[in-house]
Amino acid sequence: MRRLFHLPEQDVEYLEVSGLPWETIISNGNWLLVHNFSIPRGYNEEEASIALRLDPGYPTSQIDMVYFHPHLVRSDGKMIRALAMQQLDGKQWQRWSRHRTHSNPWRPDVDCISTHISLVDYWLNRELQLR
């Protein structure tokens, strides 16, 4: 796995404990790729890779959105809203435009990769409850 830039120690510890393969790449910015990420029942895939863009100010600056490869589709045929395509690492990734809210802002001394991945889980499950 590529490690083209360093993550904060707490993020490395979290990723190592998760047991999921991960790598850091540089491609028009810094990206964390987490592979074999479990996708909840209700989508076309059981596992996918996720990509998180880490701005230069991370961990003070927030992580925003999530990108999936391969693309996810709801098993019930209903459309997933707010999607776009993103070229990254020689593949087309599916960008889910999901953001923190005023009631759930980024907390630089608390939030990190683990809390953002928890938010990704929430977004995946919430999407299945819509429509």
Residue-wise pLDDT for 60-111, tens only, equals: 999 999 999 999 999 999 999 999 999 999 999 999 999 999 999 999 999 9
pTM for this one?
Answer: 0.96
Per residue in 112-126, is it b (16+ CB within 10 Å) or e — as a string?
bbeebbebbeeebee
Domain ranges of the chain: 9-129
Helix (H, G, I), strand (E, B) or coil at 126: helix
- pLDDT tens, position by position, 25-42: 999 999 999 999 999 999
**Rounded-to-integer distance, Cα 14 and Cα 106, Å:** 18
Beta-sheet strands, E only, within 10-129: 22-26, 30-38, 47-54, 66-69, 83-88, 91-96
